């Protein structure tokens, strides 16, 4: 789809919208005012729900992309980000929790530091839902085991990216809520400059969050899939070491006691060797796949 205006040359703001009419009505005026003053391009991805967007669709700085069916949070972001033509693209949620004034702060911070990604780190989030906080803690701990994680707010939806970089990775990002986690891990794994900047969040006034236990499970699966894509040895090597160590610890005392070789210990050692060689093969396949997808490390910009 051709762009309606080329006025916004630096920043595009992408907002996925699904059943958020009341929240949109609350923060949309401030967003439109700020975008007009700064000549930012706005892209709303309507996931088959809200009609309020028809009132602003005629604005030359606003583009509304429509999905006939619900493609999910990540699917909406992928559609909006693919349509961006500016140097930077920022994603924010349509539930009214993000502060419009933080957009300029992240934009200025990214330009000043030549950052590839800036994560809006939430400092004043309310922790009333212990179940969700426990889920986040488990996901974060699980992620730290598999991937080095030098950041604090992995799944913040308020992020700013170099457009040409994030568009490069969209094909391997999920359509689910796990998009925010996976894209951050991709940038970190590919050695891009990922920085954090504090933001304030406002408590949701209308509607209810769609994050659930199923969302957390999907996120864990997507993180595992990502690790298998970019660094499968992170999974196979520990399994190989554990199996071999178990086999040795189990079998050596039996051998020293003169009772021969334990079948169980040999099975564990052989299984460990298989995991090791499978990891090497998976690592080679991963390197080939990343190269074909244009995600090889040697293609990173200076």
pLDDT tens for each residue of the chain, 302 residues long = 444 444 446 999 999 988 766 777 778 888 999 999 999 999 999 876 556 677 777 778 889 898 888 888 899 999 999 999 999 999 998 888 889 999 999 999 999 999 999 999 977 555 545 555 666 666 666 666 666 667 777 778 899 999 999 999 898 888 888 888 889 888 888 889 999 999 988 765 554 555 556 666 766 776 777 777 778 888 899 999 999 999 999 988 888 888 888 889 999 999 999 999 999 998 888 777 766 656 654 444 44
**pTM, to two decimals:** 0.74
Please report the pLDDT score of residue 15 as a whole number.
Answer: 93
Please report the pLDDT score of residue 301 as a whole number.
Answer: 44
pLDDT digits (tens, 9 = 90+) for 94-134: 888 889 999 999 999 999 999 999 999 977 555 545 555 66
Architecture of domain 11-229: Alpha-Beta Complex (3.90)
pLDDT digits (tens, 9 = 90+) for 208-242: 555 556 666 766 776 777 777 778 888 899 999 99
Query: Within its chain, how far is the Cα of 47 from the centroid?
Result: 19
């Amino acid at each position: 789809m051709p762009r309606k205006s080329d006025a916004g040359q630096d920043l595009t703001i992408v907002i996925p919208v699904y059943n958020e009419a009341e929240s949109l009505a609350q923060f949309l005026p401030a967003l439109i005012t700020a975008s007009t003053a700064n000549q930012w391009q706005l892209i709303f991805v309507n996931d088959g729900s809200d009609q309020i967007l028809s009132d602003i669709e005629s604005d030359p700085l606003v583009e509304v992309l429509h999905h006939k069916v619900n493609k999910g949070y990540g699917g909406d972001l992928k559609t909006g980000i693919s349509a961006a033509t500016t140097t930077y693209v920022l994603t924010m949620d349509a539930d009214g929790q993000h502060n419009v004034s933080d957009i300029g702060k992240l934009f200025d911070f990214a330009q000043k530091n030549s950052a590839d990604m800036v994560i809006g780190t939430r400092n004043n989030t309310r922790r009333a839902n212990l179940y969700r906080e426990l889920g986040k803690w488990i996901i974060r701990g699980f992620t730290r085991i598999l991937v080095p994680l030098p950041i604090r707010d992995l799944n913040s939806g308020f992020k700013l990216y170099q457009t040409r970089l994030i568009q490069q990775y969209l094909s391997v990002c999920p359509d689910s809520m796990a998009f925010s986690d996976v894209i951050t891990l991709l940038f970190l794994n590919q050695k891009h400059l990922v920085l954090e900047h504090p933001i304030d969040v406002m408590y949701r006034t209308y509607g209810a969050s769609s994050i659930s236990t199923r969302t957390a499970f999907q996120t864990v699966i997507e993180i595992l899939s990502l690790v298998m894509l970019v660094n499968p040895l992170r999974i196979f090597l520990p399994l190989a070491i554990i199996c071999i160590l178990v086999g040795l610890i189990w079998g050596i005392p039996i051998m020293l006691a003169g009772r021969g070789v334990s079948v169980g210990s040999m099975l564990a050692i052989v299984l460990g060797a298989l995991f090791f060689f499978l990891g090497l093969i998976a690592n080679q396949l991963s390197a080939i796949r990343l190269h074909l997808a244009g995600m090889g490390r040697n293609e990173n910009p200076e």
